[in-house]
Amino acid sequence: MPVTPTVPAVPAQGRGFRAYTTKHLDQLIARAGLDAADRLAVRAVAAVLPFRTNEYVVESLIDWTAAPADPMYRLVFPQADMLAPDDIAPIADLISRGAAEREIQAAAHRVRMRLNPHPAGQLELNVPHLGDQPLPGMQHKYAETVLIFPKQGQTCHAYCTYCFRWAQFVGEPDLKMATDDMAQVTEYLRVHPEVTSVLVTGGDPMIMGAAVLRRYVEPLLGPGLEHIESVRIGTKSLGYWPQRFVSDPDADDTLRLFEQVTQAGKTLALMAHFSHPRELETPIVAEAVRRIRSAGAVIRTQAPLIRTINDDPFAWSSMWRTQARMGMVPYYMFVERDTGPQGYFAVPLADGVEIYRAAYSSVSGLCRTVRGPSMSATPGKVCVDGVVEVAGEQVFALHMIQARDPSLVGRPFFAKYDPDAVWLSDLQPAFASRFPFGPQPDEPPGLWSDELLVPAS
């Protein structure tokens, strides 16, 4: 329910955009009726994990009459119990005593290091090399896809409380992945003709103005890169700031850049992150989608399954039907990754399968392009197909949508049924001594490593 803003905002990128940060947090959460003790705990959580939102989200998407239970409120505002009490209490005490910021941040750092800031081997296994030179700000996990993290795109219009890339936003330089060296990127791509798709991600690349975004996208259209078939941009902007494609000063320039990609014979795919049906309800979202599609781009939609935000079938079937009606392509339901406050937001895999199945069974074939529930784990994207009985034993049936070892893609395998499992590491193989990926305890890494997949150049 929109209400008159009561908190002074700070200007940020884009006409009319107003960001709210941690200095506004206490006043904002007071609107949700939180008492002083709960507000202090929320501030302690926000000292560890990032907080940022904006006026559009606060005034157009959150129903303040239902806060703090409102799902859009929970999507962007930290919760007092997101982290363990033993982690939060010392930080809350420091804040209440007016301790120096460096002391608070030192305590927050100790907590962050216990939250698996870079899951799935992002810093150890996925960083490619040119010769002996590592290329920070790039990831090459699957043979055909390279990820680029633009230096100027390492923030978002608003942060999700469950964000799996939270480590990019907490002021810890050693945890960041970023590059602004597109000459190095394109040199790498030219000697890797197996790469057919480049994903520009973050953060959110659409936080960048058109001129800066162009510096990352245009080089991908150059000579020697004819093997690049698609350019993907991962973004939450359609949900959090659709004005980026409609009324921002450089909205038209951005769409002309999209057209330039498609006119070069490549697919421009906007990988849009929608977490809740309410993000699709405002008229400006429909206009933004129309303009993006008119520029020749494809919009594919994805989000994780999150407890207390979208953990019911109707939320998903509603999103998929609306997205298909608007011309978008439902793409992925993810499982909350093993990082940050996973223990707070994760839905058990057994429940996730049932939510997915119920939603999938209630939509038309046009929506059934979606895949999931999918775990983006160290060996690859592992899809949980369902719970079945095999040889008298109840098991999870799984397969790999994508894998470090391409020979594993599409191969079914089984795990013992565990109603409490929330991630791949919680599962034990069924009918075998090991899963089809990863080394035995007494054997070398082999295909567990990226070395066979992404050789040095």
pLDDT tens-digit series, residues 355-394: 999 999 999 999 999 999 999 999 999 999 999 999 999 9
The stretch 153-168 carries a mean pLDDT of 90
Compute how many other C-beta atoms are within 10 angstroms of the C-beta atom of residue 179: 16
CA pair distance 77, 325, nearest whole angstrom: 30
Assess contact for 170 and 50: CB atoms under 8 A: yes
Could you tell me the two tokens for 28? Answer: 């904002």
Peptide bond into 373 cis (omega under 30): yes
Peptide bond into 68 cis (omega under 30): yes
Strand 197-200 to 145-148 pairing: parallel
Half-sphere exposure of 50 (CA within 13 A, CB side): 22
Compute how many other C-beta atoms are within 10 angstroms of the C-beta atom of residue 171: 10
pLDDT in tens, 261-293: 999 999 999 999 999 999 999 999 999 999 999
Quick one: pLDDT at residue 445?
Answer: 42
Summary mean pLDDT of the chain: 90
Amino acid identity at 324: A
What's phi and psi for 332, nearest 5 deg?
-140, 140
CA pair distance 451, 230, nearest whole angstrom: 25
Where residue 296 falls (left for φ over 0; alpha for ψ -120 to 50; beta otherwise) is: left
Which of 48-62, 120-134, 243-257 is least confident?
120-134
The stretch 57-64 carries a mean pLDDT of 97
Quote the percentage of the chain above a pLDDT of 70: 91
Quick one: pLDDT at residue 165?
Answer: 84
What 8-state DSSP symbol labels residue 137?
A: T
Q: What is the DSSP string of 373-390?
A: EEEEETTEEEEEEEEEEE
pTM, two decimal places: 0.90
Where residue 54 falls (left for φ over 0; alpha for ψ -120 to 50; beta otherwise) is: beta
Assess contact for 261 and 228: CB atoms under 8 A: no
C-alpha angle 31/32/38, rounded to 5°?
110
Q: Which of the four pLDDT bands, split at 50, 70 and 90, describes residue 2?
A: very low
What's phi and psi for 376, nearest 5 deg?
-85, 85
- Structurally, at CATH architecture level, domain 129-448 sits in Alpha-Beta Barrel (3.20)
CB-based contacts of 254: which residues, under 8 Å, 6+ apart? Answer: 206, 210, 213, 244, 245, 248
- What is the chain's Cα-based Rg? 22
Please count the residues of the chain.
457
Quick one: pLDDT at residue 120?
Answer: 53
Quick one: pLDDT at residue 440?
Answer: 45
CA pair distance 356, 417, nearest whole angstrom: 17
pLDDT in tens, 430-455: 999 999 986 544 444 433 333 333 33
Quick one: pLDDT at residue 123?
Answer: 62
Assess contact for 390 and 431: CB atoms under 8 A: yes
User: From residue 162, how far is each of 165, 211, 306 by CA, in Å?
Assistant: 9, 30, 8
CA proximity to 76, closest of 35, 19, 128: 19
Dihedral, CA atoms, 186, 192, 195, 199, nearest 10 degrees? Answer: -30
| Location of structure tokens 């810890």 | 172
CA pair distance 243, 16, nearest whole angstrom: 9
Q: Which of the four pLDDT bands, split at 50, 70 and 90, describes residue 175?
A: low
Quick one: pLDDT at residue 168?
Answer: 80
| pLDDT reading at 6 higher than 50 | no
Quick one: pLDDT at residue 167?
Answer: 81
| pLDDT reading at 217 higher than 90 | yes
CA pair distance 294, 300, nearest whole angstrom: 15
Q: Taking the CA atoms of 287, 292, 295 and 301 in sequence, report the sign of the dihedral they define.
A: negative
pLDDT in tens, 362-371: 999 999 999 9
| pLDDT reading at 229 higher than 70 | yes
The stretch 244-261 carries a mean pLDDT of 97
Structural domain boundaries of the chain? Answer: 10-112, 129-448
Peptide bond into 203 cis (omega under 30): yes
| pLDDT reading at 124 higher than 80 | no
Higher-confidence position of 136 and 354: 354
The stretch 63-80 carries a mean pLDDT of 96
Q: Which of the four pLDDT bands, split at 50, 70 and 90, describes residue 15?
A: low
Burial string for 126-165 (b: 16+ CB within 10 Å, else e) reads bbbbbeeeebbbbbbbbbebbbbbbbbbbbbbbbbbbbbb
Quote the percentage of the chain above a pLDDT of 90: 83
